[in-house]
Amino acid sequence: MDRMAAQSRFLSKAGWSGTTVDPMTGDASTRRYARLSDGHRRAILMDCPPQDGIAADLRPFLAVGQWLGQTGWSVPAPLVVDPDNGFLLLEDLGDALVARVAVDPAIEAASYSRAIDLLAALQDRPCPVDLPLPDLPGLDAAPAYRLPPYDMATYRREWRLVFDWYLDPEDGGSTGDRDALDAALSDLVAERAARPPVLIYRDYHAENLIWLPDRSELAAVGLLDYQDALAGHPAYDLVSLLEDARRDLSPGLRDRMIRRYLDRSGRSEADVLADMAVLGLQRNLKILGLFARLSTRDGKAGYLSKMPRVWTHIETDLAHPVLRDLAPRVRALIPPPDAKRQDRIRARRRVAEAG
């Protein structure tokens, strides 16, 4: 199918034909975004192309967004949806991404403070199970969306990306070494996964948050890209925000925001710091593998330059006493992403294209 033709048909049916369509910077997914304007109206077009002939499932985004919005938090309202072809028209919350405006130290402090407050409030709500869908044409008969669990199979599949995509066959360490690291990390994560879950955003970071200072309290932080939400451990989103793979936080901000989170959530400092170390290691190993995959498989080599920051986060995680026994195994098996390592990953794409 001609995707542009399908898009034109969708916009025409939605009453947005003839509008200006400005493509927006994409993310690590296959989704594409564009800002629509006609001088009087603005909206965001989400384009989720079918994969292998299968239409994208828009229900997670719609159902989770409605649940978040019911509390008064700022989420883009869905306007028109075409679930069969993977198009969704959304309210435009603007372009003041926290990642962009937080270069101003005052805005960084204010936006992160509100993001922490919102996170603590979100985690204070009972974790939903079945999430109803908004009342939109085309979704009338759709069943409620069941929030999936962040189970051990998912945790393992994610951190094993570092084995599958980041490491080379010639790297040191045997299959037994990988299995031993896998088992040890499984035990640590399983201890935490046993606690009652909360809804976790999973990509709660500065590029998915919009600063809306004219809105009051928790509504001052707009939320984007929550379709991957799961029922999981609360430390995961805290790590996502404060160990950001895409930007460095100002000195001292991480510690201040952890303190703010402890004050707002009432959780034990010792428990939160240990949980952050374990869930942070899981997430950051996953990101190393994911960034390597994006370069090798998808030709998005720009993500390689972010790897050293991710490695810094891994070192922070490994410094916690809860990972004292695991740290030597991680360092022995997984080399840091120096320039040589990045070049080797980049070369895989060239080999694949030549072959």
Residue for token digits 């008969």?
Answer: 141
Contacts of 139 (CB under 8 A, 6+ apart): 59, 62, 81, 83, 133
Dig out the tokens for 86 from the structure: 């993977």
pLDDT in tens, 152-181: 999 999 999 999 999 987 776 777 888 999
The answer to whether the CB of 200 falls within 8 A of the CB of 241 is no
> Above 90 in pLDDT, residue 139?
no
The answer to whether the CB of 249 falls within 8 A of the CB of 116 is no
pLDDT at 141: 66
pLDDT at 169: 78
pLDDT average, residue stretch 55-76: 92
pLDDT at 170: 76
Q: What is the residue-wise DSSP string for 266-310?
A: ---HHHHHHHHHHHHHHHHHHHHHHHHHHHHTT--GGGGGGHHHH
> Above 80 in pLDDT, residue 301?
yes
pLDDT average, residue stretch 185-197: 94
Q: Is 57 helix (H, G, I), strand (E, B) or coil?
A: coil
Q: CB-hemisphere CA count at 13 Å for 134?
A: 23
pLDDT at 24: 85
Q: 30 versus 332: which is more confidently predicted?
A: 332
Which of 47-61, 111-125, 153-167, 296-310 is predicted with the least confidence, judged by mean pLDDT? 47-61
Residue 231 pairs in a beta bridge with: 149, 199
> Above 90 in pLDDT, residue 204?
yes
Q: Please, what is the Cα angle at 200 between 196 and 204, to 5 degrees?
A: 150
- The 10 Å Cβ neighbour count of residue 292 is 26
Decide if 3-94 and 145-354 have a common fold: no
CATH superfamily of 145-354: Aminoglycoside phosphotransferase (APH), C-terminal lobe (3.90.1200.10)
The answer to whether the CB of 291 falls within 8 A of the CB of 304 is yes
Q: 170 versus 23: which is more confidently predicted?
A: 23
Q: Is 333 helix (H, G, I), strand (E, B) or coil?
A: helix
Mean pLDDT of the chain: 92
Percentage above 90 pLDDT, the chain: 78
Where do the domains of the chain lie? 3-94, 145-354
Q: Please, what is the Cα angle at 330 between 325 and 267, to 5 degrees?
A: 60
> Above 80 in pLDDT, residue 55?
no
The answer to whether the CB of 73 falls within 8 A of the CB of 142 is no
Tell me the CATH number for domain 3-94.
3.30.200.20
> Above 90 in pLDDT, residue 145?
yes
pLDDT at 168: 87
pLDDT in tens, 69-101: 998 899 999 999 998 889 999 999 999 999 999
The answer to whether the CB of 48 falls within 8 A of the CB of 58 is yes
pLDDT average, residue stretch 248-260: 97
pLDDT at 65: 96
Band of residue 1 on the pLDDT scale cut at 50, 70, 90: low
> Above 70 in pLDDT, residue 27?
no
Dig out the tokens for 72 from the structure: 């008064």
> Above 60 in pLDDT, residue 352?
yes
pLDDT average, residue stretch 41-53: 86
The answer to whether the CB of 320 falls within 8 A of the CB of 273 is yes
The answer to whether the CB of 118 falls within 8 A of the CB of 218 is yes
The answer to whether the CB of 218 falls within 8 A of the CB of 111 is no
- Strand ranges across the sheet with 20-23: 20-23, 32-37, 42-47, 87-91, 78-82
